[in-house]
Structures are given as C-alpha cells and as structure tokens.
Amino acid sequence: MTTLSEHQDSMLSLLKNRMLPPGANDPYLQSLGGSSELARLREVALWWCAFTVRTGCQWTCRLLERLQLFDETIETFFASENISPYAETATRQFLQRLTQHGDRVVAALAQFELVANERCIQNMVIDWDRDPNQVLFALRTGSPLPPRDSFWLYRVRLAPEPSSPVDVEMIEIDA
C-alpha cells in the first residue's frame, strides 16, 4: 500500500517522464506508463510550460527556436525542474538554467534577459562571443544570426541607473 504522498510523487514522475521512485509497483501506475492519456496530459503540460516562458523571455525563446533547440530545452526544463506555478518565477527559473547553457550566445542572452526582467540591475558584466547588437537585430528582423567572432569578445556592462547606457566593450582575444 502506498501513501498519498508516494502516489503523488509517482504521478509527477510519470508526468515529467522520469523514472518511477523505487518501490512504486502499483499496478495502476504501471498501466499509466505508456498510456495515450498520460501522453496527452504531458503534451498539455509542456504546451503550458512553453507558453509561460515564451511570454516572459521572448528574446531567448526566439534564439532557441532559431537554433532549433526550443522544444528540447523545454522538455528538459519541464522534466528536471520543480517549476513554479507563477509565470514570472517560472520564467526566472528557465533563464537562470539557461545562463549555464553550453552555447555561449544562448547563455549570454539568457543572462541579459534575466537582468532586464528583474528591473533591479546591479553592476553586471556579460561576455558575448559575438556582437550582441547584431544578435538582437537578427532576432528582431529574422535575418541570419551573426557567427561567433574568433577575434573579439564583446563585454556588456550594465549599470543600476536607468539613465545609464549599456556599455559594450570589444576585447581582442589572444590567439
């Protein structure tokens, strides 16, 4: 006999496409594993997750879609995180996760958008592997993304004062 808490944990694991907890041998849970009903429920949950983050971080989502990483990233985020039911918090969780992304342009844009969404900028430095102005222009207009720059690092400095401009410094990369 499983407790209500164990049953709920098992249901969440099934929904998030995770392994069932050890000892979850309930025949009902076993029958749900490959069911079309569970697949449909997971599809709806992923749609809501995608809708939430698309609304809260449009630039990063556009970039992920351009790089054909959006669906995979949403699925991984949904499966591995305890996502908040509050849209702003879920967006923050998503962006915080992406600041560690393996693609440096994704990580930089997520960090930039996270700071912009927080609206309380501290002195912040974000290093980009290509010109951030060109990245944002490409995402806004649909033009091709600029390639990674082998010769320059683009250091973006953000200041806490709203009247302060964003400073972009080009730093030559040692060969």
Average pLDDT over all residues of the chain = 89
98-145 pLDDT per residue, tens: 999 999 999 999 999 998 887 666 778 899 999 999 999 999 999 999
Give the lowest-confidence range in 12-16, 91-95, 133-137: 12-16
Residue 82, judged by CB atoms within 10 A of its CB (0-12, 13-18, 19+), counts as exposed
34-62 pLDDT per residue, tens: 789 989 999 999 999 999 999 999 999 99
Strand order in the sheet with 124-128: 124-128, 152-158, 167-172
Tokens of 35: 């069911």
Q: What are phi and psi of 85, to 5 degrees?
A: -75, -10
Of 19, 8, 24, 16, whose CA–CA distance to 81 is shortest?
16
Other beta carbons less than 10 A from residue 90's beta carbon: 20
Tokens of 172: 């030559």
- Count CA atoms within 13 Å of residue 56 on its CB side: 22
96-105 LR contacts (CB < 8 Å, sep 24+): 98/60, 98/73, 103/67, 103/69, 104/128, 104/129, 104/148, 105/63, 105/129, 105/130, 105/135, 105/145, 105/148
